Amino acid sequence: MIKQTWQLLRSPTAKYSLGLLLLVGFIAGIIFWGGFHTVIEATNTEEFCISCHEMKDNVYQEYKKTIHYSNRTGVRAICSDCHVPKSWGHKMVRKIQASNELYHKMMGTVDTPEKFDAHRLTMAKRVWKTMKETDSRECRNCHRFDFMKLEDQDKTAGKKHARSIEQGKTCIDCHQGIAHKLPAEEDQ
């Protein structure tokens, strides 16, 4: 059996067939990976994020009134900058978690402003919890204590940031509602 297999693999036809199979597999893998990567990146665009009216009519309208949308420097953060990790592994975990959001989209859980507001606190708490667990990883893509010039900040902000550094706080400990309206706190 082993001798027959070895003879088959040594024949010119088998070599070419195996080589062709490997080449086709390699090319198919590149095409699959390219397509997969393209789809993942397309779902990180602002256009994609606001393509459903739940986001466009609610949180996007709030975000447009913040410094993350428009400011004196022209530096802008879009939805994915705050809600999707940059590193591949964490990004894939977040994309899998997003399937829950698709389920709720299909179920109409937040398809009206009233429903959205009724679920706002639950959704916000979920985001805050994640940000706390990750030490505000996405905030720190742009804002890092070790690069802040506390002495150049206004007096109150500089003191608060210095105290936060000493106490080991993370961005979300103080900056809830920085890009979206804070939810009603009645059921906290």
The CA distance from 140 to 14, in Å, is: 54
Q: Within 10 Å of residue 82's Cβ, how many Cβ atoms? A: 19
The CA distance from 167 to 147, in Å, is: 18
In a domain, 157, yes or no: yes
In a domain, 113, yes or no: yes
In tens digits, what is the pLDDT along the chain, a chain of 188 residues? 788 776 766 676 766 677 788 999 999 999 999 999 999 999 999 999 999 888 999 999 999 999 999 999 899 999 999 999 999 999 999 999 988 888 988 899 999 999 999 999 999 999 999 999 999 999 999 999 999 999 999 999 999 999 999 999 999 999 998 889 898 875 44
The CA distance from 75 to 24, in Å, is: 44
Helix axes 2-10, 12-42, angle to 10 degrees: 80
In a domain, 24, yes or no: no
In a domain, 36, yes or no: no
Q: What total of structural domains would you count in the chain? A: 1
Rg of the Cα atoms in the chain: 24
Range of the domain at 131: 53-67+76-188
Q: Within 10 Å of residue 35's Cβ, how many Cβ atoms? A: 10
In a domain, 8, yes or no: no
Burial of 145 by CB count in 10 Å (0-12 exposed, 13-18 middle, 19+ buried)?
A: middle
Q: Which residues neighbour 124 within 8 Å (Cβ) at sequence distance 6 or greater?
A: 176, 180, 182, 183
